[in-house]
Structure 1
Amino acid sequence: MLSSCKSSSYLRKTELTDLKASKTLKKTYLRIRNMSRKEIALGHQDATAYGVVWKHDGSGTLDRSDIDDVTGKFPAVYGFDIGHIELGNTHNLDSVPFDLMRKLIVKAHENGGIVTLSWHADNPVSGGSSWDTVPAVSQILKGGNFRKRYEGWMEKVALFIRSLKDAHGQPVPVVFRPFHEMNGSWFWWGAGNCSINDYVQLWRETVNLLRYEHKVHNVLYAYSPNTLNEKEEYLRFYPGDDFVDILGIDIYNHSGDDIYREALRNDIAVMRAFAASRDKPFALTETGNIQRGHPRWWTEVLYPAVKNSGIAWLLVWRNHSPEHFFAPYPEDPLADDFRMFGEHKDILFLKDIREIGFEPRPDFTRQPGK
């Protein structure tokens, strides 16, 4: 693929942190760069695994998502979480069977979608959940008392990612987003529960284990802090350009629409400037509305704050129940507003990103917001 490139700038833009990246991974990275010109791909966590009132039966015959139920279109980006793969469990922490997850990931890729993986790993020292803040990071670094346990965990992560193959036996590319929201204190890898230096070392050792020990070459690595308390926070935990392919940020509407809008505009601007200085694409890697009440939240709160922001995608979190959901479903009072949100030409669904190729796009012809 690289031998056909005509410009040095194009060659530079295909360089990934993994020098042995698979061809499919390089193509996915170029698609992501091209998506981010002025368009935003729509993503949903566990989109095809379950919805508010349904669950995949595992038979392979169910092809459904809540977003498709509302709009007649599937999302462009598919988020999955591999938490509890490290334990050797058959299901992840949200009760999705890993065998089913594998099938859904492969199908999403073969249909033209982008796949992202998060990892809510249990605390390797205490045995508690990701939210158990017993200090653990220093214990799983090289020389730590729990290093062998962590190396065993990484072997299981690598086996799962390497098992992702399409119908032709080619590796399925994924965006891997471990140890996210590190500037918050709620995870065992978060601020206050480990030093910044130890966090950076954990990230680097994790990437090196996958690349060199386990020969995993179908992964783009994404770094995603939570809502920033100050702009300097974005850089503070950064593990370095050689260990990150995509920049992200997680911002939820916890404290009301006005504060959420401001956080989106300010924090995405910080991320955008940081990304520009490093020539990396960036995304809103998690978002969602917790403070419900605005009848046109999608079109009047979220959309104005993200349009023309440069993010390659935005991913809303999972639909667990009528009391806990982030994407619309048919009975959601905001379903009509979401349909209007999805009618903006710069909001991309699955069928839209199928049209995005791998060649550089010097110009953008679609008019955003129309």
Structure 2
Amino acid sequence: MIKKILPCFLFFCLPFVTVFGQLIDGKASLQTKNLYKNLAKLSGAKVLFGHQDDLAYGVGWKYQNGRSDIKDLTGEYPAVFGWDISGLETNQKENIDGVPFDKMKQYIKKAYDLGTINTLSWHMDNPISGKNSWDTSSIAVKSILPSGSKHLLYKSWLDKFSVFVKSLRGTDGKAIPILFRPFHENGGGWFWWGAKSCTPQEYKALWQFTISYLRDKKQLHNLIYVFNPCGFKTEEQYLERYPGNNYVDVLSFDYYQYGEVEKGESFAQDVAKNLAIQNKIARRSKKISALAETGYVEIPDANWWTNVFAKAIQENKPSYVLFWRNAGYREKEKDNHYYAPYPGQISAPDFLEFIKGNNILLQKGLKKYSVYN
């Protein structure tokens, strides 16, 4: 009996930052509603730590059952697992980073069974050129809107996505709730859906059509929709491509540190400023605030976690943060590519200190809140 009431009791101890609204999907599954409700209750008090492709591979290993760089270091998995479904639209067996979709389904199920959270991004191919999402040579967004020449093609992609999402079920047989972040980093110019390739009105129309099609036509009721601009310095810039409160559940942005270790201070200040802007909008709109992608490649600063990142999220805590993938050494690029620590990495001891404080939750910490119940 105590176990059943403990999570609810714990929530009463959390400081509520704002009153949150409802999911934009009125028919959302019970587990999806509960996840959103519990994320809202944790918001402002706890920060869920996430990692891209965490179960699939890490530095020096691939596809080892149950392994995780974060678990190897801390003894527990992340609280949030990120995945990308690029390639699903063109019937590929593997995604853009070589993760087989069959394995991805297993990982998503495992994450749900662990009581943790899954989020999906989609680096979908350019529908006109057939090249990858970084190909901006074609004006593609206009072509996939309802009156566009590639609209039927785009709907077929959404149909494939719907089949994939409907196949995601936990051991309990329930549809697995997914934080879905389409057309991310929309303020940048590097994707075919970015600011240099479509007008704000076209972007909003694409977002609104996509959500309406998935929710109303395809009857997907286990998605939580995550809006994701980047490169903003003002509230006006943040909202330039915002499709409206009826089409968004979570507000997020992406921000990475680049260059020398000395740039950590400016990175922390910039992230803090962006979180302040986003949180102000989130409170007004009754939405959840998150940092959907972040990190510092190779983490060469031994004290980066406590001296830089902790300061970045101190004043306006995001609901969750997702660090990018640990690909390790890449033969083609001749570089090391990882954003989260692992045993022996220079910042690993500092990371352990970071998660002791700062109200950071990993899998075991999140599990006691039973976010799907």
After TM superposition, give the deviation of residue 14 of structure 1 in Å.
Answer: 6.3
Alignment of 1:129-144 (within 5 A): 129-133=132-136, 134-144=138-148
In 1: Cα distance, 2:358 partner to 2:314 partner: 11
Contact 1:79 1:315 in 2 (8 A): yes
Please give the alpha-carbon distance, in whole angstroms, between the structure 2 residues aligned to 1:170 and 1:68: 26
Which among 153, 159, 162 is matched to residue 155 of structure 1?
159
Partner of 1:80: 83
Q: Deviations over 1:250-305 (max 9, x none)?
A: 11112521221111111000000000001111111110014854220011000111
* Whole-angstrom CA distance in 2 between matches of 1:224 and 1:153: 21
Tell me the equivalent position of 2:98. Answer: 95
Q: How does 1:216-365 map to 2 (within 5 A)?
A: 216-254=220-258, 256-290=263-297, 292-322=299-329, 323-344=336-357, 346-357=359-370
Structure 1 unaligned runs (5+)?
Answer: 1-8, 361-370
Asked whether 1:181 is paired with 2:194, we answer: no
Kindly provide the amino acid, as one letter, of the partner of residue 123 in structure 2: H
Residue 3 of structure 1 is matched in structure 2 by none
Cα distance in 2 between the residues matched to 1:93 and 1:358 = 30
Q: How far 1:231 sits from its partner (Å)?
A: 3.6
Q: Which amino acid aligns with 2:92?
A: N
Aligned equivalent of 1:197:
201
Q: TM-score, normalised by structure 1?
A: 0.90
In structure 2, the CA distance between the partners of 1:41 and 1:195, relative to structure 1 (3 Å rule), is: same
8 Å Cα contact 1:248/1:271 also seen in 2: yes
TM-score (normalised: structure 2): 0.89
The 4+ residue runs of structure 1 with deviation greater than 6 A are none
1:20 aligns with one of 27, 39, 47: 27
> In 2, distance between residues paired with 1:297 and 1:116?
25
Task: Indicate the RMSD between aligned Cα atoms, in angstroms.
Answer: 1.8
With 331-340 and 289-298 compared, the bigger mean Cα shift is at 289-298
| TM superposition shift of 1:341 | 1.1
**Paired residue secondary structure (2:54):** coil
Is the 1:30–1:359 Cα contact (8 Å) retained in structure 2?
no
Question: 1:184·1:191 contact (CA, 8 Å) conserved in 2?
Answer: yes
**Residues 43-72 of structure 1, C-alpha deviations (whole Å, 9 max, x = no match):** 000011110111115xxxx10110111111
How many residues align structurally? 346
Identity of aligned residues (%): 39
Aligned pairs (5 A) from 1:207-222: 207-222=211-226
Post-superposition CA distance 1:194-253 (Å, at most 9, x none): 111000000011111101221100000000112324442111110111110011111111
Q: Which moved more, 1:313-322 or 1:179-188?
A: 313-322
Specify the code of the residue in structure 2 equivalent to 1:168.
D
Report SS of the residue matched to 1:356: coil
Q: After superposition, what is the alpha-carbon deviation per residue over 1:7-30, rounded to whole angstroms, capped at 9, x for unaligned?
A: xx9xx8462100110111001101
